[in-house]
Structure 1
């Protein structure tokens, strides 16, 4: 497969990326992970956490806008209980109480949605939230509509998802003042690939979201099942994760190939700037550099979603202000190529 990726990389991009104007959504949105398996995860984002995302800071003062939208991605609401499919092996699967607590967490005082509201100005920020994943299991999820619910069929799993979506929408409408500064766009499907046993569930979920007047978002790993026919699953918006980290077997050509595929299949691109053993010191520069017009052109021609694994914009601002400035410049379309030692393009 890697050889085919190299072949795609030299074919180039045709700028056929998904563009946010197609659905009227804002560009340059950022994923905010809530909970997780790592030490000291953030369960609720405060004003102090979010201010470096919402506004570009210089001298610790806000001087311009930064990201235009946010995805609240719920991994867990408390340690050891997980709503994300890849984390369940590290603890227990979330039940109805956890799903309800996820909604409560999103609307909690002074955090998450309300912290964003406090920071937003006259230009509303886009908001997306993740749907808890219904693991196939013979354990009781909880009581729903007067009877115990198990996730042993697509019908029962969909019953839980549609119930949760309705509960969230009702809460959003109940706290209608939030819409003055926040524009709720829709829901994120948590899993980054589509298992075959989820085919029908995903289609039904996304169709249901449309009946409610909202959009469905998917952030898949490149080349995972469903990425080439993502529209067949009724998703409205998708953006490929490049799978490029710097300290794995895949070099920068992987970003080129993923960009070509994204332009061909009309998706957006995810910008990754992570911290940890698999991330080298220049992987984020490759993501930025290759988005320029002389390379793959996604900086100005694509819907872009940003992720910062194992770090936050607050830590980037305090520990690496130069990269904080580069992120801002990329968002604004003002970024210029940054060379580094041994760079080959």
Structure 2
């Protein structure tokens, strides 16, 4: 039996959520080559509408923002039309949709993008990561450092993508400032060696993230804007320093974001509960927390501990479109098939059985 705290309703931005679960963002590589969501995307998200708040897979705000092949975009009219079908399907089944805006920065390869250009990043430092491309696994190349005058252009790309998401019928967006991608790269000293106002100090490294958040909130409303961070996560070759360095960087960042009154702060949490508590103490709206390796009986632990308002589900929701009902009934879970996570098509995407068909 899951904790009763999961089943309490919650006001989040403009939304009235029926419970404290949500769908965590997960890349699935099912979009068309031009970045338009594939035909099955509407069904995939509709199946999971009972989770209430659905945060989509990472969605690029521009051609430069794409890192992996067959990931969706939200910057052309075709993208808007594709996402409108997804939003309509989710709304028809009673859910809400936030589109995650993900600019990957240096975690890319020219073979995966429509323009086949060199990736961009805060500094010309390779992530030295293997990445899948249409011709097989390759290493991420050395990126091109964004010129100071280009950075406001990237901020504008996020602003345009947010407006496009709302035009598509989404209920809001999540800014992806986590997991080794562009905004996170600006926060990490080993990826950001800039000597201008976007590098060096804690304040300078946070500047770009704050500017993106302000621009998006100004464009679509703070109450339709969430943001995701992942303090100390070493993904994408990032190293943010020792515990005290990480705490200094993120306490400053969250302290500067808090007055914006965004709809939520989404923390991909590595385990520094003291840092998480400090976020909770200053953040004025909802806090979402995801932990790696969380088991079924621990899903409500952060809510019960007062550290979170919502606990998004990843692999449990991926393999169980009716995960809410399974938790309520104490029913067993389907297991994820790792071989079909990124292969395209319905297999491992929309064919996981619900309880009535299990």
1:153-168 counterparts in 2 under 5 A? Answer: 153-166=147-160
Q: Does 1:214 align with 2:218?
A: no
1:57-96 counterparts in 2 under 5 A? Answer: 66-74=50-58, 83=65
Q: 2:131 aligns to what?
A: none
Q: For residues 47 and 22 of structure 1, what CA distance do their matches in structure 2 show?
A: 23
* C-alpha spacing 1:31/1:133, structure 2 compared with 1 (3 Å): same
Cα deviation, 1:99-158, whole Å, max 9, x if unaligned, reads 86765675354xx55234124248562423314244499x6679xxxxxxx652243033
Contact kept? 1:50, 1:115, Cα under 8 Å: yes
Q: For residues 89 and 289 of structure 2, what CA distance do their matches in structure 1 show?
A: 27
Q: For residues 101 and 208 of structure 1, what CA distance do their matches in structure 2 show?
A: 16
Q: For residues 207 and 167 of structure 1, what CA distance do their matches in structure 2 show?
A: 14
Q: For residues 290 and 200 of structure 1, what CA distance do their matches in structure 2 show?
A: 30
Q: 1:263 aligns to what?
A: 280
1:228 maps to which of 227, 245, 251: 251
CA positional deviation for 1:306: 0.7
* C-alpha spacing 1:141/1:239, structure 2 compared with 1 (3 Å): closer
* C-alpha spacing 1:208/1:291, structure 2 compared with 1 (3 Å): closer
Match of 1:202, SS state, is helix
Match of 1:32, SS state, is coil
1:189 maps to which of 176, 186, 201: 176
Q: 2:112 aligns to what?
A: none
Q: For residues 83 and 285 of structure 1, what CA distance do their matches in structure 2 show?
A: 37
Cα deviation, 1:281-340, whole Å, max 9, x if unaligned, reads x63422424533xxx145xxx4325141xx36252358998557569xxxxxxxxxxxxx
Gap regions ≥5 residues in structure 2 = 1-8, 30-36, 109-116, 121-143, 190-198, 200-204, 233-245, 332-358
* C-alpha spacing 1:131/1:319, structure 2 compared with 1 (3 Å): closer
Q: For residues 95 and 161 of structure 2, what CA distance do their matches in structure 1 show?
A: 23
Q: For residues 240 and 321 of structure 1, what CA distance do their matches in structure 2 show?
A: 25
* C-alpha spacing 1:166/1:115, structure 2 compared with 1 (3 Å): closer
Contact kept? 1:219, 1:240, Cα under 8 Å: yes
- Tell me which protein shows more strand as a share of its residues: 1
1:169 maps to which of 163, 167, 171: 163
* C-alpha spacing 1:202/1:268, structure 2 compared with 1 (3 Å): same
CA positional deviation for 1:159: 0.3
Contact kept? 2:230, 2:267, Cα under 8 Å: yes
Q: 2:98 aligns to what?
A: 127
Q: 2:41 aligns to what?
A: 46
Q: Does 1:306 align with 2:279?
A: no
Q: 1:115 aligns to what?
A: 86
Cα deviation, 1:247-298, whole Å, max 9, x if unaligned, reads xxxxxxx6x65663443243613144x6xxxx3xx63422424533xxx145
Q: For residues 25 and 328 of structure 2, what CA distance do their matches in structure 1 show?
A: 17
Gap regions ≥5 residues in structure 1 = 1-18, 37-42, 55-65, 143-149, 245-253, 328-345
Cα deviation, 1:202-238, whole Å, max 9, x if unaligned, reads 2222222232133342222246464323131476231
Match of 1:239, SS state, is strand
Contact kept? 2:166, 2:220, Cα under 8 Å: no
* C-alpha spacing 1:319/1:121, structure 2 compared with 1 (3 Å): closer
* C-alpha spacing 1:82/1:264, structure 2 compared with 1 (3 Å): same
1:294-333 counterparts in 2 under 5 A? Answer: 296-297=305-306, 302-308=308-314, 311=315, 313=317, 315-316=319-320, 322-323=326-327, 325=329
Q: For residues 319 and 239 of structure 1, what CA distance do their matches in structure 2 show?
A: 20
Match of 1:73, SS state, is strand
Query: How many aligned positions are there?
Result: 240
